[in-house]
Amino acid sequence: MLSSSLFGLTANRFALNFIFVVINVETIKLRRLNIMKRILLFFVTLLAVSTISVYNVYSQKGLKVFISVDMEGVAGVVHSDQVSVGGNDYQMARRWMTEEANAAILGALDAGAAEIVVNDSHGSMRNILAGEINPAARLITGSPKPLAMMQGIDETFDAVIFVGYHARAGTANATLDHTYSSGSISAFKVNGVEIGESEMNALIAGHYGVPVVMVAGDRAVCSQVRNSLGQNIVTTEVKESIGRYAARTMVPAEAQKLIRANTAAALMKLKDFKPYKSTVPYQFEITFLYSHQAEAAMAVPGIERVSARTVRYSKENFIEGFKLFRALVTLASS
């Protein structure tokens, strides 16, 4: 009886041990299976994300991008000495301007742009260093040009980028604020709304059905374009102005990285943007700095004098109205 009991006990232990071994083996198998499932899920997710990213880039292939580059809104620029050809710091500032243009070009290339046009849009419009611009783009330089800051734009473009832009004349805490001509224009309105160069140039782009998708400059201009062009526009704030001749600015190299990233991001969501337009007919109103400038404008047929310094006129075509505006500014500056 004793040996029989011992045999039974041993058999039971053997059976239990066998069950434990089987359970452990199955547990290991399940763990391995779960690990394999997790690995598989990881790679499937990675493949999906990569596919979406590749699709997003290749869906942008063939993009034609127009980049207008001004100077007052460039990181590090705070004084007229930096934006004037004879200024001691001009050569340094024009290099920063060139580098910000290159940053926008790289951002456009990151988004899959096939054709890029850069228009020098400051002063003499001979500021960007042609020998240092990214060869993936074509540079429009020199003046006069019929469309000035927007020379080269037409209906074949998909998007417009503004770099180095500034706030309109009379804006508080805005670096070197002015509207087109600091020596002659106090205010400029279209259909009763005061606008600056950003909106003016956006209307030119809008005439051709092209949206502005990204604006880089100081905090003031970024705020203005969000209010005028729409809250979804991508803005790149490279400095916070402290009055007209001082600012808390990003280091140029860091500003350039941000411009590149935001340019690419804006172009990747191109469908979110619409061309900026106003109602026809367009009523233009110019308030000059001095009364004699308004008097000079009255030499042009079709101009109505509203007050000592303000004139107005109406046009069905925005481009025609813009060109007349330029002619009046030139006349006022002579």
The per-residue pLDDT for range 69-111, each reduced to its tens digit, is 999 999 999 999 999 999 999 999 999 999 999 999 999 999 9
Does 234 have pLDDT greater than 90?
yes
pLDDT reported for residue 23: 44
Q: Which amino acid makes up residue 150?
A: M
pTM above 0.85, yes or no: no
**pLDDT at residue 107, as a whole number:** 98
Chain-centroid distance of CA 161 in Å reads 5
Confidence of residue 247 (pLDDT cuts 50, 70, 90): very high
pLDDT of residue 21: 43
Q: Which residues have CB under 8 Å from 171's CB, separation 6+? A: 177, 196, 220, 224
More confident residue, 50 or 68: 68
Assign 73 to helix, strand or coil. coil
Instruction: Tell me, yes or no, whether 266 and 157 share the same domain.
Output: yes
Query: Does the pLDDT of residue 314 top 70, yes or no?
Result: yes
For 235, phi then psi, to 5°, come to -120, 145
Question: In which domain, by residue range, is 121 found?
Answer: 64-183+198-272
148/227 same-domain check = yes
Phi-psi region of 173 (alpha: psi -120 to 50; beta: other; left: phi over 0): left
Assess whether the previous peptide bond of 146 is cis (omega < 30° from 0).
Answer: no
- Distance CA(261)–CA(230), nearest Å, equals 20
77 within domain boundaries: yes
pLDDT at 22: 43
Mean pLDDT of the chain: 88
The answer on 262 and 140 residing in a single domain is yes
- Please tell me the predicted confidence (pLDDT) of residue 31: 57
Q: Tell me the C-alpha distance between 236 and 57, whole Å.
A: 22
Span of 12-21, 171-180, 200-209 with lowest mean pLDDT:
12-21
pLDDT over 90 (residue 159): yes
Q: Within this chain, do residues 164 and 20 fall inside the same structural domain, yes or no?
A: no
The answer to whether residue 252 is domain-embedded is yes
Residue 59 predicted with pLDDT over 60: no
Neighbours of 14 (CB within 10 A): 10
Which residue is catalytic, options 122, 178, 207, 292?
A: 178
pLDDT at 50 over 90: no
Cα 261 to Cα 104, 110, 250, 305: the distances in Å are: 8, 9, 15, 47
Percent of the chain scored above 70 by pLDDT?
82
Classify residue 322 by burial, with Cβ atoms within 10 Å: 0-12, 13-18, 19+: buried
318 Ramachandran zone, left/alpha/beta (phi>0; psi -120 to 50): alpha
Please check whether residue 179 lies inside any domain of the structure: yes
Q: Shortest CA distance to 275 belongs to which of 13, 18, 66? A: 66
Starting from the edge strand earliest in sequence, which strands make up the sheet with 159-165, in order?
137-140, 113-120, 63-69, 159-165, 212-218, 234-241, 247-249
Judgement on whether residues 68 and 54 belong to the same structural domain of the protein: no
166 is catalytic: no
Residue 163 near residue 68 (C-beta atoms within 8 A): yes
Looking at the structure, tell me whether residues 71 and 53 fall in a common domain.
no
The residue to which tokens 């990675």 are assigned: 46
Whether 188 is in a domain gets the answer no
Does residue 5 belong to any structural domain of this protein? yes
Same domain? 32 vs 77: no
Contact yes or no for 239/249 (Cβ under 8 A): yes
174 plus 37 within the same structural domain: no
Inform me whether the pLDDT recorded for 2 exceeds 60: no
